[in-house]
A = this chain, B = another copy of it.
Amino acid sequence: MPDLAKLLWPDSVAIVGASSDTRGLRGRIVQIMRSHPYRGAVYPVSRSEAEVQGLKAYKSVADLPPTDLAALIIPARFVPQELESCGRAGIKAAIILSSGFAEEKGETGPALQREIQAIAKKYDMAVSGPNGEGFTNTAAALCPTFSPAMDPGEVALLPPAERTRGQVAVISQSGGMGYAFFDHGRPKELSFRYIVTTGNEACLEASDFAEFIIDEGKTAAILMLIEDLKNPATFERAAGKALRNGIPLIVNRLGASEAGTRAIAAHTAARGDDAAIRALFRKYGVIESNDLDAMVDIAAAFIAMGTRLPAGKRVAIASSSGGGGAWVADACALAGLDMPLLDDATRAQIDAYLPSYGCSQNPVDVTAQAIHERGYAEFARLAAESPNVDGVILVVTGRHPRFLLEDRAHLMALGRDTKKPVLLWSYTRPAAVCIDLLSEAGLPLFTNVHNCARAMRVMADYRAARDAARKE
């Protein structure tokens, strides 16, 4: 097995095919690499340019100083010879961002892909791609990719440390979709450790990266977008480790539809055995979702709650909006959650705070008036203490930050002290300060009610799967 550490944690990176022209992908990858504070060496390799974007360029791979990783972004027909040069130069890891391999019509592309496989095997190289979009290692500030999502923008790669309870990794065959997870998750203050795109997976596949990341032990949840599981045994080994370590795998396997399968065949030339894979997923508590936003939200909920997963499927709902409470109740029912009445002792405590038109059954119709007087957190705390429930969904409006900000101390205490999961749904688009506050409090904030209910459900299922695995 080649060494993935050389690929994901290189001390030096050669960009084979680097260019000064930042309008093209060969220039963009250098520009993006340079815009992040990666502390290793970056070596452009260019036949035509002596200097690329301020960096000394090398005529060929053979001229390079000792190098850990080569990123190849050159026409497909030149890839085998350059990869061979890398092998000869002692480079032990490569990512191939070029297209035109097994996904191509005709014989040439697939033949080129087989050449890559042979070279990787010959030199025991860790090779990712071809037809990938590179990867990102945020801890190393390393971004050998042309993804626009890694453009240095107004947003830092990582949220502030005080808002980070754990990190997520993305492993995706599709480059565009892989970075789309980051694009959707970063504004929610989700902290990404890796985004790895694997393309055609001629050599390394998503499961190999998953196993490395699980073994490394620094990632709390993994988002995977899979078009094919080439070696189910590798996936099974990774999934088993993940479950034992309490790292949820949240997976969308594309190709559920005939047209989807057709698209995949054209895209990364993948195929799969559906029934066997589904059985594997069930066995290892793999969380399946086909909604990008839901996947991001589920990962965020797991990370915020850590080991505080629901012991069952019984949920209390507390809402300042009566309609909002009914809506989330419907969503919970659809997600297969139960909403029993709260016990009398808890109801009495809640009733003491409510006006006459409030209601403490379940959903708890807290009323806007009681929120004005007591804030949100106290109602979630009380509901969570009911022995009748395993978790709480708190309905808030995050548009106007006043009530959440005034309740800051209680929300921080709730996030720290709660033993049962507390998920928040904001039926209005939350203000940035509310996202920051709740992120710091470690309370997952949802803007889609179904994602919120579904997160509670899959957390309960995951805990059950984990407990079952431990008993074996």
Q: Are B260 and A329 in contact (CB under 8 A)?
A: yes
A135 to chain B, nearest CB (A): 15
Cα-based distance from A148 to B339 in the complex (angstroms):
30
Picked from B266, B292, B330, B427, the residue with its CB within 8 Å of the CB of A427 is B292
Q: Are B263 and A329 in contact (CB under 8 A)?
A: yes
The oligomer's copy count stands at: 2
Q: Are B332 and A174 in contact (CB under 8 A)?
A: no
State which of A11-19, A250-258, A462-470 sits at the interface with chain B. Answer: A250-258
A187 at the interface (CB under 8 A from B): yes
User: Chain B contacts of A136 at CB under 8 A?
Assistant: none
A242 to chain B, nearest CB (A): 22
Looking at A151, A262, A290, A291, the one whose CB has the most chain B CB atoms below 10 A away is A262
Flag A125-149 by CB within 8 Å of B: 1 or 0 each: 0000001000000000000000011
A residues contacting B by CB (< 8 A) are: 99-101, 103-106, 109, 131, 148-149, 151, 172-180, 183-184, 187, 225, 227, 252, 254-260, 262-264, 266-268, 290-293, 317, 319-327, 329-334, 339, 355-357, 359, 361-363, 365, 367, 397, 399-400, 427-429, 448-450
26 A-B pairs in the complex with CB atoms less than 8 angstroms apart: A103-B322, A104-B357, A148-B397, A173-B323, A176-B321, A177-B321, A177-B324, A184-B429, A254-B326, A256-B333, A257-B330, A257-B339, A258-B333, A259-B333, A260-B329, A260-B330, A262-B361, A262-B362, A263-B319, A266-B322, A268-B323, A290-B330, A290-B331, A291-B450, A292-B449, A293-B448
